[in-house]
Amino acid sequence: MKGLLTISPIKQVTIFLLSLGIIISLTAHWCHTAAQTTEVNLLGHETKWRPFSEAIINQDQGRLEILVVTNETDKKWNRAYLPMRISSPNATSVPFTLEYASKSNLGNATFQAQIRESNKVLWTGYLNNTDGQLFNKTFTLPSSILNRPVEFRFNVVTNGTGEHTFDVNKATMWLTNATQNQPMKVEFY
């Protein structure tokens, strides 16, 4: 039978492998575009930071200012805290970006960002005393902070009398879910 198109077995395998490669490429692209990324702004209008111990806080226009003036000679954990819950069934990463300035005008203090569940510390990020200059820092938060009630804290730990300031201009978490069919939810209490 003349005129029939015949393809050699080698060409058949080559065409099959090329087709398979195209299908895998399209599937990977589809899965990547199906991922959902959510920005969680910890300084947004829906957040209400609360003071603890000697901390005096002012939250205004997307900024958080913490002032600690103490005459205490013992170690004190002064802070602003934000009770929250991030429900994200399959988040693949939790980057956290912070822009802050800290300064001890009198005495010494240690500055921290921290996430706790009840009495258990889930994460602590130690922050530099920037002498009042703005500083940017990025952390990767553990997935253990997800799907449970937690407190996000900015601590000003003092060990003696003093006056300290901690100003936060940006505090943003980025959550990436592998699929869109399980939505993320952020609640502030």
pLDDT at res. 75: 95
pTM for this entry: 0.79
Quote the pLDDT of residue 133.
97
Composition of the chain by helix, strand, coil, percent to 5: 15, 55, 30
Indicate whether 30 pLDDT > 60. no
Both tokens assigned to 105: 């005008």
Q: In the prediction, which pLDDT does 53 show?
A: 96
The whole-number average pLDDT for the span 115-130 is 95
Say if residue 28's pLDDT is above 80: no
CATH fit for domain 37-188, picks 3.40.50.300, 3.40.50.450, 2.60.120.260, 3.40.50.11540: 2.60.120.260
Assess whether pLDDT exceeds 60 at residue 49: yes
Alpha carbon distances (Å) from 76 to 100, 109, 119, 130, 179: 21, 10, 16, 21, 43
Residue 165 near residue 105, CB atoms below 8 Å: yes
**Which token pair is 106?**
């009198």
- Which of the four pLDDT bands, split at 50, 70 and 90, describes residue 80? very high
In 3-state terms, what secondary structure has residue 94?
A: coil
Residue range 115-131: mean pLDDT, rounded? 95
Buried b (16+ CB within 10 A) or exposed e, 159-172: eeebebbbbbebbb
SS3 14: helix
Per-residue buried b or exposed e for 27-58, using 16+ beta carbons within 10 Å of the residue's own CB: eeeeeeeeebebebebbeeebebebeebbebe
Q: Please tell me the predicted confidence (pLDDT) of residue 18.
A: 65
Could you tell me how many helices (H) and strands (E) the chain has, helices first? Answer: 1, 13
